[in-house]
Structure 1
């Protein structure tokens, strides 16, 4: 496998994530930088950078002597990443709804219309990412945008499972966000973002369970844990 993407560090991260979600890598397993570099036809530098990105996602632990290992990885890892992303996305939604910029709303209306007629996962994913990008550019300052860009690994890769397995749910959730944004209702727009990202997390975890990456839910399942706290933080924000 040779990489063709311009950003090779992101491509390395995507490659490792793909192996995680395929069940080929497990918690505690050592990641051989030289083997990954040889497999992908790149130097060690983008491999190290890709693993640093995954370390930010809580998926990789780096030890002394430049060794790297797969961190503890289960459904709670995925849910926590979506919880954080949901909090930030709700904030940008609230700001965009409050400002009501006609140009932004027009761009979102065109994307909402395109999403309504899109049933092909790759095209849908591209449109959904553009919807989120338009909101984030309009509703976030430089610091917040930098934080949002840090969610370039685990969240989008896991979200793709939700698109593949529950595209209709994703379409309805994005449309609900658009309706709240168009109405200029900050509270509803924030709540719609949280509801959407919570749905995506649940569908992604369910898809990974069906694929045997995660076991069946048990007494320690945390599917509801944390979301009330996230909602409280967003509701109390006056940004």
Structure 2
């Protein structure tokens, strides 16, 4: 992927930022700038330019930077500014492995509490996934599949844990990650089969495998985009 020339104007934010708080908009926008190669390891984050591009004050941008520092995307140097850090491949894989553990727990609970209606609704969603190739529609089907599992698991604590986890891919996962739709189809079918069989352990394992596979695909994509550069500009000390 070719580097973006220095001084290039920042792109306009896309529709994925709609209905988000200003801080969430800024965080997602900065992740997208990194993902698209407009900001690279060692670059200073242009806070003023980002605020202008989003039409917000610098306050939400600063909020976003604090959030992104916790996630490992950037490093804040006192009196120097915020700088793009080096993404870690193991951390990206761990992110999806942790998602797999959380959703696996939900699948275990949902299978224990399953009803015939749950299996029927999951079956309908799997059938729709097999027919659908539009990334936006696949994303909606995926959300409904996960929602049904979480709803049946009936654990407020699970929802609290998931709210604390943020996506690594800045945008529609199924549009940006090659192979993601196929992984979702195969994984969802395996989860459905386990739920129908009334096997909680198998359902948990199927969710974990699906999300590990998605983590593999994201790691491959990030590597191809040069986001795991082994060397590059060093952060100021």
User: Please, what TM-score do these two structures have when normalized by structure 1?
Assistant: 0.77
What's 2:94 paired with?
80
Structure with the bigger percentage of helix = 1
Which one of 115, 139, 142 corresponds to residue 156 of structure 2? 142
What is the rounded CA distance, in whole Å, between the counterparts of 2:170 and 2:109 in structure 1?
Answer: 23
| Contact 1:75–1:205 (8 Å) recurs in 2 | yes
What is the rounded CA distance, in whole Å, between the counterparts of 1:149 and 1:200 in structure 2?
Answer: 19
What is the rounded CA distance, in whole Å, between the counterparts of 2:70 and 2:222 in structure 1?
Answer: 21
Structure 1 unaligned segments of length 5 or more: list them: 217-239
Superimposed CA distance per residue, residues 9-40 of structure 1 (whole angstroms, 9 cap, x where no aligned partner):
33322211212222222334332322211111
What's 1:183 paired with?
197
Are residues 192 and 118 of structure 1, via their aligned partners in 2, closer, same or farther at CA, if it must alter by over 3 Å?
Answer: same
C-alpha RMSD of the superposition: 2.7
5 Å-filtered alignment, 1:216-227, equals none
- Alignment size in residue pairs: 216
What's 1:204 paired with?
218
What is the rounded CA distance, in whole Å, between the counterparts of 2:74 and 2:202 in structure 1?
Answer: 36
Are residues 168 and 153 of structure 1, via their aligned partners in 2, closer, same or farther at CA, if it must alter by over 3 Å?
Answer: closer
**Partner of 2:132: helix, strand, or coil?**
coil
Which one of 138, 141, 144 corresponds to residue 130 of structure 1? 144
Are residues 81 and 155 of structure 1, via their aligned partners in 2, closer, same or farther at CA, if it must alter by over 3 Å?
Answer: farther
What's 1:16 paired with?
30
Shift of 1:199: 0.5
5 Å-filtered alignment, 1:226-237, equals none
What's 2:19 paired with?
6
| Contact 1:78–1:155 (8 Å) recurs in 2 | no
What is the rounded CA distance, in whole Å, between the counterparts of 2:31 and 2:177 in structure 1?
Answer: 17
Structure 2 unaligned segments of length 5 or more: list them: 1-11, 231-237
What is the rounded CA distance, in whole Å, between the counterparts of 2:202 and 2:172 in structure 1?
Answer: 25
What's 2:181 paired with?
167
What is the rounded CA distance, in whole Å, between the counterparts of 2:154 and 2:84 in structure 1?
Answer: 32
| Contact 2:76–2:83 (8 Å) recurs in 1 | yes
What's 1:42 paired with?
56
**Partner of 1:29: helix, strand, or coil?**
coil
Are residues 122 and 54 of structure 1, via their aligned partners in 2, closer, same or farther at CA, if it must alter by over 3 Å?
Answer: same
